[in-house]
Structure 1
Amino acid sequence: MSDLHALPSKPEREYCSTSEAAQMLGVSLGTVQQMVENGLLEAWKTAGGHRRIRIGSVEDYLRRRSSGVAAPHPVGVLRILVAEDDRILQRLYAHTFETWNLPIEVRLVESGFDGLLEIGRQQPDLLISDLVMPGLDGFAMISKLRSDPKLEDMDIIVVTGLSQEDIAERGGLPDDVTIYGKPVPFKELKGYIQARLAQFQRRGRAAS
């Protein structure tokens, strides 16, 4: 008779590294550090100064986010939603944002409809959107968003392959929407995001 089932099971890990938590949450290392400092994730430091984050607290945060219960907005963290149906560009956005190591939280969706659902669950500070997408396109999504006064503080950037003439022929976009052409101008996006983060910091100092 085999006694294999008598062997003790391998204990599950209780803690993970900062980079592992960032991968689980789909955010940057800087965002994870901000979340720890703001008490949204439980963590401790090793004798060597490395952060170890309790996996249970990461899973709790993910459950709140997926259940539609709005998670608290981490102080000093910019929430970004990217609406882009091209999988290669999605990966490029995610990889590039990660290399900046800024306090940002990034989510990705593939259509205007998914964008509206995600914004309904958790409003971002900044929406970066393509215009030509399957189903509900960027024009319809942005029109819907700008008709809602509760979302008037949300910045919108469009990154598109359409020309100004093409956009005008399709009805145009609201005046407060910033428009960039493709390929994705990451240098300009980084400057825009850094400026928004600086505004967050000034507001935080003024409130303290």
Structure 2
Amino acid sequence: MTDTATVYLFDEQRIYMHALEVDAYGPIRARSTLTVPPETTGTEVAQWTGSDWVVLPERPVPPAPPEPSIEDLRAQVQQAATDKRWQVMTGGLTLPGGIEVGTTIDDQNRITSVVANAALAGLADADEVDFKATNGWVRITIAQIKAIAGAIGQFVQACYSAERAHHEAIALLETPEEIHDYDVNSGWPQSESAET
């Protein structure tokens, strides 16, 4: 039969929670003691001091978390700008003529693959292929696919340029109010391309 011991657990404020039977020869549990806490009544709580228990009239209010630093606030807003860039960049692009193309990384890779391998497949710029746009199938030329790849490349670069502009502007903000009021939703490229 295993020897057991009773330990008395306390929380992060060192307030007594409950007793627990443990292996007497096992590892010592974090936030526990072998010292029996005093009896409490009503709203009273027992708090561990590190060497003994004291009775408090009520549970102390936990301290408020520290205010984030200006650097932390800037980093949060810069992350929001990065998240917005990803949302815009992978949200698709509408080309003249109403063709809607996906711009996720997989979409970009597929289009790049067609462009890179067209000559190996014996396809000239004037040859037509089936292309699955996000709004349905279309028949377009290899030259048009190259133009789509170029439009996506320009769109993606514009998204990164907008993100960089946001990061640089955020880095110049000096007060929590300025950082809080900063609009990460403006200044992004439109998802409609002017040319293909």
TM-score, structure 1 normalization: 0.23
**Larger Rg over CA atoms:** 2
User: If each structure's helix is expressed as a fraction of its own residues, which one has the higher value?
Assistant: 1
TM-score, structure 2 normalization: 0.24
